Chains A and B, each alone.
Chain A
Amino acid sequence: GAVVSQHPSWVICKSGTSVKIECRSLDFQATTMFWYRQFPKQSLMLMATSNEGSKATYEQGVEKDKFLINHASLTLSTLTVTSAHPEDSSFYICSAKSLASGRGFTGELFFGEGSRLTVL
């Protein structure tokens, strides 16, 4: 099946620093990638939808200047948490929809392994 690789899998940083998380589709082209955040014992919350070559669409309440998303190619999207603070500590997961899936959406998004961010 399709593979999405996310890096780093975990990161610890000091408050005020920026952290970049990469999401790569390894064996397919991803026109659309989604970035989620999950706090302990809570549901996945969609942060933004990123489309290759265009600006990301952010969900209500997500600061676009704090969570910078770049989707420069069909196989790579990056999320940069700028000036991270302890409240940004969370599990960040990307997912991708394959270009080859066509019009129909089967519901199968291919997920990266997730990145656990801890801000001290």
Chain B
Amino acid sequence: RKEVEQDPGPFNVPEGATVAFNCTYSNSASQSFFWYRQDCRKEPKLLMSVYSSGNEDGRFTAQLNRASQYISLLIRDSKLSDSATYLCVVNKMDSNYQLIWGAGTKLIIKP
């Protein structure tokens, strides 16, 4: 089983719609969780951290379910510019700086 698993997609979504992705992780002792965004052939960029109580940043909402070991990302009122691959990232329990990356979920927003 992969340490961090994501549905690769692609998710084809009309502009303005709401879309959600899930990500599951295998290590119950993981402490930190993040969503990164990666555009085609570009480096990843931090989208948002995921806090235990859930957190929101504009149109983006992240939630953590420790019992089921999954993280979710919800995008409301999707824009064409949201098209990208979204990477779920979890820290290794033996290091605060080393991260385990999911393979990403590809999102395509259509006009």
B62 to chain A minimum Cβ distance, whole angstroms, is: 12
Once bound together, how far apart are the Cα atoms of A44 and B38, in whole Å?
Answer: 11
Partner among A32, A41, A43, A111 whose Cβ is within 8 Å of the Cβ of B43: A111
> Is the C-beta of A93 less than 8 angstroms from some C-beta in chain B?
yes
Contact A112 B97 (CB under 8 A): no
Q: Which residue of B lies closest to A9 (CB)?
A: B41
The bracket for how many chain B residues form the interface is: 20 to 34
- If A41-B8, A105-B96 touch, does A114 touch B42 (CB 8 Å cutoff)? yes
> Is the C-beta of B49 less than 8 angstroms from some C-beta in chain A?
yes
Partner among A43, A49, A91, A111 whose Cβ is within 8 Å of the Cβ of B97: A49
- If A49-B97, A105-B96, A105-B97 touch, does A113 touch B102 (CB 8 Å cutoff)? no
B47 to chain A minimum Cβ distance, whole angstroms, is: 10
Contact A43 B46 (CB under 8 A): no
B residues less than 8 Å from A32 (CB atoms)? 97
Q: Which residue of B lies closest to A31 (CB)?
A: B97
Partner among A44, A49, A97, A111 whose Cβ is within 8 Å of the Cβ of B45: A111
B60 to chain A minimum Cβ distance, whole angstroms, is: 15
A-binding residues in B (CB < 8 A): 4, 8, 32, 34, 41-46, 49, 87, 89, 91, 96-99, 101-104
15 A-B residue pairs with CB within 8 Å: A42-B103, A43-B4, A43-B101, A44-B87, A44-B101, A45-B101, A49-B98, A105-B96, A107-B91, A111-B43, A111-B45, A112-B43, A113-B42, A113-B43, A116-B41
Known interface pairs A106-B49, A109-B46; 15 further A-B residue pairs with C-beta atoms within 8 A, sorted by A's residue number: A34-B97, A42-B103, A43-B102, A43-B104, A46-B99, A49-B97, A49-B98, A93-B43, A93-B44, A107-B46, A107-B99, A111-B44, A113-B43, A114-B41, A114-B42
